Structure 1
Amino acid sequence: MVDRLLSVQQVAELLGTGVRFPRRLIEERRITFVKVGRHVRIPESVLSAYVAEHTVQPVTVRRAALRGAA
């Protein structure tokens, strides 16, 4: 099955950012992209992997453990 290719504008909307952020990811080669002529497209699976890779899980620490460190 072929992965859907997203425009920079679509990626920005999905991430909830302006277009500058995905453009910076592309410029710094921090995300995989596809050149279609002069257009840049990002595969949907790559965007999902990027979000999953940069998702920070919450840490559950008891307050008593924090007091002992000081």
Structure 2
Amino acid sequence: MSKANSAAVSMPMVTAERLWTIQDVSAFLVVPVGTLHQWRYLGLGPAAYRVGRHLRYDPAAVKAWLSEQAS
């Protein structure tokens, strides 16, 4: 087995659900991207994380935030 193959075999599997982009959240909530930016600025929307220069959302956190809005 070559070094490249042995490195690929020893890498751990990532099992977490992938983070959503702002476009993913926009489609899920059926709101414009601009609304999500405004909510983030005002501290009203679901929690987002900066990954480099990109915003990412944890799908579970978005769903929990949506549930909280219904109550």
Both structures adopt the same fold (TM-score exceeding 0.5):
yes
Structure 1 length normalisation: TM-score?
Answer: 0.68
Structure 1 pair 23/55, CA: closer, same or farther in 2 (3 Å)?
same
Give unmatched runs, 5+ long, in structure 1: 57-70
Structure 2 length normalisation: TM-score?
Answer: 0.67
1 or 2, which has the higher strand percentage? Answer: 1
Q: For this pair of structures, how many residues does the alignment match?
A: 56
**Percentage of identical aligned residues:** 23
Q: Does 1:18 align with 2:14?
A: no
From the CA coordinates, give the structure whose radius of gyration is larger.
Answer: 1
1 or 2, which has the higher helix percentage? Answer: 2
CA displacement at 1:4 relative to structure 2: 2.5
Listed one character per residue, the Cα deviations across residues 10-69 of structure 1 (whole Å, up to 9, x for unaligned) are 10111111111211222223331111100011110110011100014xxxxxxxxxxxxx
Root mean square deviation, CA, Å: 1.5
